[in-house]
Amino acid sequence: MDDHDLLRLGVCALVQAQASSSGGRIEVFEAGNVTDALALYEAHQSAIGLVLLDLALPDTHGLSGLAEFRLRFPAARIVVLSGTGNSTLAQGVLALGASAFLPKSADLKEVVSFIRACGLLDPDAADNPPPTVPKALTGYAEFAHASAWQELTPRQMQVLQWVLEGKANKEIAQLANLSEGTVKNHVSTILLLFGMRSRAQLISTLH
């Protein structure tokens, strides 16, 4: 589900064309925001084999859309699409339970190939395709980042998203209904988990 009309139309057309060439038919549900996507999934989850979720939907911030989807529907198979293709973000997506991370820079045919690999376009495809990331992980730092994402609590994930949006501790405290001291503790823990010395370093690394 993506707010970019051309991408949505392109994927939809290719998926249906591929299904037709295999002698089948596939129904595609579309939504332009997470709220509509959650409602659609709730109403039609028995008919939905895969969710394509854009990280940049208008009612989301960072990974909040994915986190909300996973919280509401933990069994949903989700593939995340993002305009940002860095491996740290990909690891965060996979740590939150997505089946795969596909950068929007990928050819649309690559996206459809993954859908085929999920077994949705023909019965002979594999059931569990391997998660994909934009590039192979290299170096200790990136492995450390992958581990850090997995150790974040839901509250720390929320605080991290606000930090990445440039919000100060006082503002985060008001948004989260926490004391400023508690927010500072969360930020310190996040910096420690990612091995960063400052908020600026954290933001520049994860953006």
174 and 100 part of one domain: no
Give me the number of domains the chain comprises.
2
CB atoms inside a 10 Å sphere around CB 84: 15
82 and 163 part of one domain: no
Q: Choose among 119, 120, 108: nearest CA to 14.
A: 108
29 and 99 part of one domain: yes
Q: What are phi and psi of 100, to 5 degrees?
A: -165, 160
**Mean local confidence (pLDDT), 116-140:** 47
- Does residue 140 lie within any of the structural domains? no
CATH at residue 33:
3.40.50.2300
Report percent pLDDT > 90 for the chain: 15
pLDDT tens digits, 2-61: 445 656 666 677 666 766 665 666 778 888 899 999 999 999 998 888 888 888 888 887
Q: Long-range CB contacts (< 8 A, 24+ apart) of 127-131?
A: 129/99, 129/100, 131/94, 131/98, 131/99, 131/100, 131/101
104 and 184 part of one domain: no
pLDDT tens digits, 67-123: 889 889 988 888 888 777 666 777 788 778 887 777 766 666 666 666 666 665 554
Cα 84 from Cα 89, distance rounded (Å):
8
- Does residue 128 lie within any of the structural domains? no
Give the CA angle between residues 49, 35, 155 to the nearest 5°.
95
Q: Which residues form the domain of 43?
A: 5-117
Q: Which residues have a Cβ under 8 Å from the Cβ of 106 and sit 6 or more positions away?
A: none
Cα 113 from Cα 115, distance rounded (Å):
5
List the beta strands (DSSP E) in the chain: 51-54, 78-82, 100-103
Three-state DSSP at 186 gives helix
Q: Is pTM, for the whole model, over 0.75?
A: no
